[in-house]
Amino acid sequence: MDPAGRSTQAPHSLVSESGIDCPTEPVSERRTLLWEVAGYLLVRPLAALVILLIAAPVAADDFREAWAALANGGHVALVRHGNAPPGSGGDPPGFKIDDCSTQRNMDDRGRSQAKAVGEAFRQHGVRVDRILSSPWCRCLETAGLLGLGAVESEWIVAASADKSPERLAALKQMVSGWRGPGTLVVVTHALTVQGLVGIMPGQAETVVLRPKSGMEPGVDVVGRIPVRE
């Protein structure tokens, strides 16, 4: 004890499993700390839930606007081919455009996706006036499995900004000039969609475009529609 009669004993401590001396805190302080921790753990999931609930209507509205645009006609649907393992990376070395066995092709999942996309178009009452496809086998097969009409194989649909900028410019001119009355469906590759509108779509995803009016070619992105499996 000190001269004033107060205890000079150090606060009680606990020894942790690591051997470090850990002073104990008064009960009231420990309770306050526990309440703060519990509140933090409860608030984080609730905040995440609120974010999801706010974001969900936006995504739903995006789908609805995209489907409505297609049903109204005069729009363009860029459809990436269905699942083709390994999913990216192009074709094997030495592939031949007229020999599907040398290319990266769709699997059963990709074929199911293609059929699902076509069924969704029918359920939403989308009138398809023309279907263009890249000459690669995975795109031609996707276009055929849509079941929406005759398929035209076009080289300009297989375009990319780095390897074939002239074809990409021609494709941009084509989609910008589409006026319907129905929908133009373009079955293509991720890099082609990225070159046109800066979006890297998922496999079998549809990106809906609205051609701009005026002298300069251009399009606006209406929305994106991922495939429902």
pLDDT digits (tens, 9 = 90+) for 159-189: 888 788 999 999 999 999 999 999 999 999 9
Kind and range of the H or E element at 121? helix 108-123
Q: What is the CATH number of the domain that holds 207?
A: 3.40.50.1240
Nearest 5°: CA angle at 82, between 187 and 155?
30
Q: Which domain holds residue 180?
A: 61-89+96-225
Domain assignment present for residue 56? The answer is no
Domain assignment present for residue 159? The answer is yes
How many domains does one find in the chain? 1
- The amino acid at residue 223 is G
Res 148: pLDDT? 98
Domain assignment present for residue 126? The answer is yes
Name the percent of the chain lying above pLDDT 90. Answer: 62
Domain assignment present for residue 51? The answer is no
Q: Please state, rounded to an integer, the average pLDDT across all residues of the chain.
A: 79
pTM: 0.73
Res 88: pLDDT? 66
Domain assignment present for residue 173? The answer is yes
Domain assignment present for residue 41? The answer is no
Q: Distance between CA 51 and CA 73 in Å, rounded? A: 34
Q: Tell how far CA 174 is from the center of its chain.
A: 25
Q: What is the pLDDT of residues 62-79, one digit of tens each?
A: 688 999 999 999 999 999
Res 161: pLDDT? 80
Q: What is the pLDDT of residues 121-159, one digit of tens each?
A: 999 999 999 999 999 999 999 999 999 999 999 999 998
Res 229: pLDDT? 76
Helix (H, G, I), strand (E, B) or coil at 209: strand
